[in-house]
Amino acid sequence: SLTSAAGPNNPVGVIWNGLSKSGIGIHGTNNPRTIGRAQSAGCIRLSNWDSVRFPNFARPGAIVEIR
């Protein structure tokens, strides 16, 4: 499901794009320097700009394959 986070000061940035596994998602960040580094329990961090655009490419129910 796609649900919004609190905002730009939230560790997951401005939006949380939840995946089918509980607690795992594709989201923004309040600290862009952490993008591309192991900082979480399996989530994928994007820029806030890209995390807001993500739902345009992956609608609810779409299969997301992470390689």
Q: Which residues are catalytic?
A: 27, 43
With tokens 């499901």, the residue in question is: 1
Residue 17 vs residues 34, 40, 66: alpha-carbon distances, Å? 18, 15, 14
CA distance 26 to 42: 9
